[in-house]
Structure 1
Amino acid sequence: MVRKMGVYAVLAYVIYGLFFYWYLFHFADSSLPFEYQGTKADPATFLNSRELMLSEEYSKIRNLLFFLSTPFEWLFYFLILLFGFSRAFKKWAESSSKYKLPQTAIYLIWLSFFAFVATFPLSYISHSLSKTYNISTQSFASWMKDELIDFWINYGTLMIIVPVLYWLMKKSAKRWWFYAWLLSVPFTLFMMFLQPIVIDPLYNDFYPLKNKELETKILSLAEKAQIPAEHVFEVNMADQTNSLNAYVTGIGSNARIVLWDTTLNKLSDDQILFIMAHEICHYVEKHIYIGIALYLLFSLIGLYLTYRIMNWAVRHFGKELKIPDVKDIRSLPLFFMILSMLMFTASPFSNLISRYEETRADRYAINMTQNPEEAITSFQELTRSGLSEVKPPLLVKIFRYSHPTMLDRISILEEYEVKQRAKNK
């Protein structure tokens, strides 16, 4: 039975992978609708033939890697349970210490190490792909350092969460999911508060904007929106990527707008001001706090569903999965697997909300700067630097895109440009 379940799981993953290969490389149509051809949203108007070819190739492979990576985690956790590795990790932990907390630490280091090794090939392929297409400029040593930082941050986080989670399971078999969620609220807020000042600097150097002339212009935009100027930072990314980006991070007094130095190097001041106005909207409309609220709502639903599915799985397949009880730490891979599945399932909804907020931010930015030409060229440069698709396939948009497609974004700006010209006549 165990061998059969393992074979079926691997076969299901292979069929899933073949489906997405067929979908992305043979079925999905990313060609531009006729009405957009020749417009400023048409990549043929701002990319050369080589860039168009590379963009199509890179996007297809990158999208395939995305759809393969998350279900691969599910397969990994399932096989870890099925073939008794989780049980072995617990035995090794119990033989190494008689105290509960060190046992948990040892179990987690084994599980984390095996997960790191299992997912490393896909991570490395993704890194190599971005290097091949000149998106990434990061050396292997630098990339490996970031991977190891990720590993230890994740391990440290698990060392806080897992002992508390299984203590709650033992104390309340029916309500642990709710108590875990209650504790996750202050923990999430605390981690978001720490993110910009503790975690992010482990990867890159952050400093106040160096260009004082640009800073003065940004100050003027920030003043209109009543946003403190000290929240504008730049970060060194040129040694890692050729892509452009800007984002909002942190909460409370640690909230800040961050610009990559690649953005500062490749875009004009007016283009950057449009991007800054976009980020300012996230402050003004409290998108960060809305995102936190939605995350906490999804996590409440997710923990409840995880509780129900875990109980069902252990009740029906506990013997095959080597899990005697939900509250036994051997069930942790099952917990991770179910939670990951639920997050993947919920991603179309969270992406839809995010795209709505990003569209509002684009409209806010163009109304504030009133410079559609610079806004359009900034999006064109973002497309070129990241070799991104202007019109991605439907499933890619649904599962991957937290921002509107460049087709949608540039089209909105073109409409604004047409209306502005009509007013000026």
Structure 2
Amino acid sequence: MEQGGNDIAKKMGIVALLLFGVYVLCMYWYIFHGGDGTIPQALKGTVADPAMFMSERELYLSGEYSKIRNFLFFVATPFEWLVYLVILLMGLSRYFEKVSTAQTKWKLVQNAAYLFLLSIVLYVVLYPIEYYRFYLSKSYGISTQGFSSWMRDGVIDFWVNFGMTFLIVSVLYWLIRKSTKRWWLFAWLLTIPFTIFVMFIQPVVIDPLYNDFYPLKNKELETKILTLAEQAQIPAEHVYEVNMAEKTNALNAYVTGVGSNSRIVLWDTTLNRLSDNEILFIMAHEMGHYVEKHIYFGIAGYLLLTLIGLWLTSKCMKWLITRYGHILKIIKISDIHSLPLFLLITSILLFASSPLSNYISRYQETRADQYAISLMGDQASAVTAFQKLTKSGLSEVNPQLLVKWFRYTHPPMLERIYKVAEKEGQKKEAPIKEEQKK
């Protein structure tokens, strides 16, 4: 029986590899040959046309860089699924549990040992992809981070994720052992306070592990931002900046945290390369999210998707273990070595739901843009801010449909620039190209 299960596992593994290979070829054709994201004729020569504010070299690098990143995204996610499947089919997960349980009788220590072994394997197997992403970003001038600094962030990531995963998995499998039928509901109920807690501590505990945060040095700009926040009836006392220039050339600003730990944060790259009015527009955009309560809608949407996802995961795990448990080397769902199956199913569900969640996010971003224009009344600064954001990150302004569905939480820059320019009836023809275009 054991030998028969191993033979089927080998066949299943081979079929999975073949399907993955076919998928990779299909995605390669789609990304590199299935459409070039050309600018609609009606938008050529407008402020939204990247040819009007990017040099020929920047346009070339943007197209090349975007295609590689998009291909990597669509390949890396299913590759991770394949890794989970292989770990199960080879019996590695069950072996890790045997090793961990042989060392101690303490359940929490067993969980920690099992998770450490699994995490190390995943880190090693997925490391080449993560390193290539780093190398790619460096090659195209986006990242300024040294290898040692990147590795340091990777090690921090490993231990932060390990700690949070250990807490979640220990509670999760305790619930499964207590109630094999309703564990998904109890897990979801605990997700609510846990999500809020993580959002509360993120700005003051987790984020400072990676970068230094300090009050905005430019007090004149801080006064302008706080005045803008007062106009929007947003309680804010401080604006923070973060030292990102040593890691990236990209620009960003955001609002993070909840309650008393909420923060307005500006990257120093943004402060160094945007004008005050452009920064104020970005801040007004972030304030739009606050005013329209997008963070709370986001939490509600996340919790709803989590509820559906956990319920579907429980049904899928039960069915798969009943039907293919002998092949996947899983005896019962309450054994921690079923974790790769849990991760596999949840990852697939998360990927499948991303077009919907991204669509909602894009709608909210559009609303925030509209709010910022209404608050600032300065569409010219909005246009130039978006143009500089595009240039700094070599962003793809008009992605292919699947790329937009699965990757874009913000509207493509082509849409954002044209809409904010159109909002107040700004002349759509672009000004003379920048000096670098000459």
Scaled by the length of structure 1, what TM-score is found?
0.97
Q: Is the aligned partner of 1:346 residue 2:353?
A: yes
Task: Please give the alpha-carbon distance, in whole angstroms, between the structure 2 residues aligned to 1:417 and 1:36.
Answer: 17
Are 2:222 and 2:238, in contact at CA under 8 Å, matched by a contact in 1?
no
TM-fit CA distance, 1:98: 2.1
Q: Per the alignment, in what secondary structure is the counterpart of residue 211 of structure 2?
A: coil
Task: Please give the alpha-carbon distance, in whole angstroms, between the structure 2 residues aligned to 1:417 and 1:272.
Answer: 19
Percent identity reads 62
TM-fit CA distance, 1:377: 0.6
Task: Please give the alpha-carbon distance, in whole angstroms, between the structure 2 residues aligned to 1:219 and 1:331.
Answer: 51
Equivalent in the alignment of 1:267: 274
The letter for the 2-side match of 1:234 is: E
Equivalent in the alignment of 1:117: 124
Moved more, 250-259 or 377-386: 250-259
Residue from 377, 380, 388 that aligns with 1:373: 380
Task: Please give the alpha-carbon distance, in whole angstroms, between the structure 1 residues aligned to 2:238 and 2:418.
Answer: 31
TM-fit CA distance, 1:230: 2.4
Moved more, 156-165 or 309-318: 156-165
Equivalent residue runs for 1:37-186 within 5 Å: 37-186=44-193
TM-fit CA distance, 1:161: 1.0
Equivalent in the alignment of 2:24: 17
Task: Please give the alpha-carbon distance, in whole angstroms, between the structure 2 residues aligned to 1:336 and 1:231.
Answer: 39
Q: Is the aligned partner of 1:29 residue 2:48?
A: no
Task: Please give the alpha-carbon distance, in whole angstroms, between the structure 2 residues aligned to 1:40 and 1:279.
Answer: 23
Which runs of 5 or more structure 1 residues have no equivalent in the other structure? none
1:57-105 superposed Cα distances (whole Å, 9 cap, x missing partner): 0000011111111111111110000000001101110121122111111
Equivalent in the alignment of 2:300: 293
TM-fit CA distance, 1:413: 1.5
Equivalent in the alignment of 2:435: none
Equivalent in the alignment of 1:208: 215
Equivalent in the alignment of 2:329: 322
Q: Per the alignment, in what secondary structure is the counterpart of residue 230 of structure 1?
A: coil
Q: May I ask how many residue pairs the two structures share in their alignment?
A: 421
Q: Per the alignment, in what secondary structure is the counterpart of residue 113 of structure 1?
A: helix
Equivalent in the alignment of 1:229: 236
Equivalent in the alignment of 2:436: none
1:246-279 superposed Cα distances (whole Å, 9 cap, x missing partner): 1121111111121111000000001000000001
Are 1:194 and 1:250, in contact at CA under 8 Å, matched by a contact in 2?
yes
Q: Is the aligned partner of 1:195 residue 2:210?
A: no
1:241 and 1:169, CA in 2 relative to 1: closer, same or farther beyond 3 A? same
TM-fit CA distance, 1:420: 9.1
Equivalent in the alignment of 2:250: 243
Are 1:231 and 1:255, in contact at CA under 8 Å, matched by a contact in 2?
no
Task: Please give the alpha-carbon distance, in whole angstroms, between the structure 2 residues aligned to 1:267 and 1:140.
Answer: 28
Residue from 5, 8, 12 that aligns with 1:5: 12
The letter for the 2-side match of 1:333 is: P
Q: Per the alignment, in what secondary structure is the counterpart of residue 358 of structure 2?
A: helix
Which runs of 5 or more structure 2 residues have no equivalent in the other structure? 1-7, 429-438
Scaled by the length of structure 2, what TM-score is found?
0.95
Are 2:249 and 2:269, in contact at CA under 8 Å, matched by a contact in 1?
yes
Q: Is the aligned partner of 1:257 residue 2:264?
A: yes
Equivalent residue runs for 1:355-370 within 5 Å: 355-370=362-377
Q: Per the alignment, in what secondary structure is the counterpart of residue 247 of structure 1?
A: strand
